[in-house]
């Protein structure tokens, strides 16, 4: 079978993710890996889920837990999330919430909802590579969004027109971004809102790491700032995407979208057509666990990850050559390293694995224009103590040698 002749053109844009390939390395015991940006499984709230599953599968509940359910998602979970979002400064009701199979599904649906071939999506340079992967299927072009810049709306619009489409939305990983660990400050968020108003486009606010703040003051979500301007979520152009993956457990694949109800209505149609609904059992278990332990569990996570971040930053301060720079994130899972121009993260990784048995993610895949060769992403979520000191010492040796 010549598969090439039956593939749709969009498949040309879909490539294997460097991260997924690298995750295979986590199985080798002698490698110290800072590659996978995944939660520490030792921190999963296992007991809470055991209790929740027993409750959800008890007579009386089990039939509903194992049955098909509505595409919007579990009423109990949507009610909990409406309260949760209201607590974040986003007053809303269950009609403003759609449960998705992870926030990755939300990114796919939002791409499908808005992008026509040749349209432009505004993204940070670098941005979450999984968002580029999700959007690429809908054949967009990308333009660089820098919340610190004063580039005019007309310039974005003209560039998009020259590419044969229009700007549809801006996508931002707002808090402790994947991959840089950086947070967009209040002024940056207001500027993105102004730009979106001028261009009359949507904003996709990816808040996957929002709960994992270790120090500093929380910055209001862009959606909260927009509601403060307009009075109601129903008047807002910002679409908020949240996830339980980084707080409870990614294996459950439960995320959510919070937006004006007409947007939720369109996404419900999309979900009906794509997978009917996210797993009923998982939604019910998450609703049960979130109601009982979300706050206490997140505060335990913050304490553990804060110590790991501090350990990694201290090791970097100690070990790295002078001309290497890195971010100092206030939360999340990532530190972003910039090496001198001319260095190549991908080449470095090949050498690092072979000679020093240390792994990380080369930065280039996070850039929509393929730049950023001299950058790498480290995750501090999995390792603690001596492994971090040893891993960073190994990494510094590889960088020095290169």
Ligand X SMILES: Cc1ncc(COP(=O)(O)O)c(C=O)c1O
Binding site for ligand X (CB under 6 A): 37, 102-104, 128, 130, 173, 178, 206, 208, 243, 245, 250, 255
Strand partners for 336 = 377
Residue number with CB closer to ligand X (71 or 178)? 178
Structure tokens at 59: 């007579």
Q: Least distance in Å: CB of 319 to ligand X?
A: 26
Instruction: Answer yes or no: are the C-beta atoms of 281 and 66 closer than 8 Å.
Output: yes
Chain centroid to Cα 288, Å, comes to 24
CA distance 188 to 194: 10
Residue number with CB closer to ligand X (210 or 280)? 210
Q: By beta-carbon distance, which residue lies closest to ligand X?
A: 102
Structure tokens at 174: 């707002």
Q: Strand, coil or helix: what is 143?
A: strand
Q: Least distance in Å: CB of 356 to ligand X?
A: 26
Q: Least distance in Å: CB of 121 to ligand X?
A: 15
CA distance 156 to 162: 10
Residue number with CB closer to ligand X (374 or 379)? 379
Residue number with CB closer to ligand X (37 or 140)? 37
Residue number with CB closer to ligand X (193 or 208)? 208
Q: Least distance in Å: CB of 182 to ligand X?
A: 12
CA distance 238 to 92: 13
In terms of Cα–Cα distance, which of 388, 348, 381, 383 is closest to 364?
A: 348
Helices 280-319 and 46-56: angle between axes, nearest 10 degrees: 170
Instruction: Answer yes or no: are the C-beta atoms of 344 and 374 closer than 8 Å.
Output: yes
Q: Least distance in Å: CB of 397 to ligand X?
A: 29
Residue number with CB closer to ligand X (102 or 126)? 102
Q: Least distance in Å: CB of 15 to ligand X?
A: 17
């Amino acid at each position: 079978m010549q598969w090439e002749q039956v593939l749709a053109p969009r498949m040309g844009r879909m490539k294997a993710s460097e991260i997924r390939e690298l995750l295979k390395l986590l199985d080798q015991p002698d490698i110290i890996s800072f590659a996978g940006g995944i939660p520490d499984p030792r921190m999963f709230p296992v007991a809470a889920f055991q209790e929740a599953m027993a409750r959800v599968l008890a007579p009386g509940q089990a039939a509903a837990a194992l049955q098909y359910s509505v595409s919007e998602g579990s009423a109990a979970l949507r009610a909990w999330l409406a309260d949760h979002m209201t607590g974040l400064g986003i007053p809303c009701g269950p009609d403003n919430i759609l449960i998705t199979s992870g926030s990755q599904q939300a990114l796919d649906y939002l791409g499908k909802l808005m992008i026509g071939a040749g349209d432009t999506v505004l993204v940070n340079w670098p941005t979450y590579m999984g968002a580029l992967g999700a959007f690429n299927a809908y054949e967009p072009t990308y333009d660089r969004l820098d919340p610190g810049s004063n580039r005019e709306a007309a310039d974005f619009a003209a560039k998009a027109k020259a590419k044969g489409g229009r700007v549809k939305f801006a996508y931002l990983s707002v808090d402790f971004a994947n991959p840089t660990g950086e947070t967009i400050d209040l002024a940056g968020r207001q500027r993105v809102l102004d730009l979106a108003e001028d261009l009359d486009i949507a904003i996709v606010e990816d808040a996957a790491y929002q709960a994992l703040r270790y120090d500093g003051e929380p910055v209001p979500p862009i959606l909260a700032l927009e509601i403060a301007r307009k009075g109601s979520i129903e008047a807002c152009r910002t679409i908020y995407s949240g996830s339980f993956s980084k707080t409870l457990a990614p294996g459950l694949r439960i995320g959510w979208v919070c937006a004006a109800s007409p947007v939720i209505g369109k996404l419900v149609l999309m979900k009906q057509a794509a997978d009917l609904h996210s797993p009923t059992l998982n939604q019910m278990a998450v609703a049960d666990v979130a109601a009982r332990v979300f706050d206490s569990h997140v505060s335990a996570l913050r304490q553990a990850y804060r110590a790991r971040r501090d350990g990694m930053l201290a090791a970097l301060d100690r070990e790295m050559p002078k001309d290497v720079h890195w971010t100092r994130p206030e939360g999340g899972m990532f530190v972003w390293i910039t090496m001198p121009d001319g260095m190549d993260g991908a080449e470095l990784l090949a050498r690092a694995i072979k000679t020093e048995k240390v792994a990380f993610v080369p930065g280039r895949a996070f850039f929509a224009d393929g730049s950023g060769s001299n950058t790498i992403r480290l995750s501090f979520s999995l390792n603690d103590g001596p492994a971090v000191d040893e891993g960073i010492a190994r990494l510094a040796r590889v960088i020095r040698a290169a």
